[in-house]
Amino acid sequence: MRMELDHLDGLLASGVLLITFGFIRCLAHWVRAAPATPDPWAEEIEVLMQDPATPPTCLRCSITQSPGAWFCPHCGTAVGPYNNLMPYVNAFSIGEVFRSSILDRVRPGLMMWLGCVLLALHYWIVTPFYLFRVARHFRHLRLADGAPVTEVSSPS
């Protein structure tokens, strides 16, 4: 009897692996077959973006930056081209990601949740507090947009 169960477990694992592989293959084919979309901006903006003489701008507030700046003087966002490669300044870039998911207006979707969870798991000490703040912020965003939010009531 035990041997039959082991055989069934092996067949089940093989089936799940085969279905997963087929799903990933279909997904990859679907992504490769998707039509390439044009840039959302005009051709002259593309030329300006590629021009080395164009000054860099802040991703958050769109203020023009000096070429060697590490942080935006207006909003404090890390803007340097090599900030993610320098260990000390990298901490500010990571903090910016944490801050933006809690304080900024973001689209609360599945991928945003997954990114927040994966980021929080890397810094496991703050995970419960961070995910609580993210959930509360996403709930407020949905309430502001007028989307229905399911309320969990406590037993009386």
Q: Would you list the domain boundaries of the chain?
A: 82-147
Percent of all residues in the chain with a pLDDT value above 90, rounded to a whole number:
10
Over the stretch 97-152, which tens digit does the pLDDT of each residue have? 888 888 877 777 888 888 888 888 888 888 888 889 988 988 888 887 765 545 44
User: What's the Cα-to-Cα distance from 38 to each of 29, 35, 41, 42, 73, rounded to whole Å?
Assistant: 20, 10, 8, 10, 33
Is the whole-model pTM more than 0.75?
no
Is 26's pLDDT higher than 90?
yes
Neighbours of 77 (CB within 10 A): 19
Whether the Cβ atoms of residue 120 and residue 130 lie closer than 8 Å to each other: yes
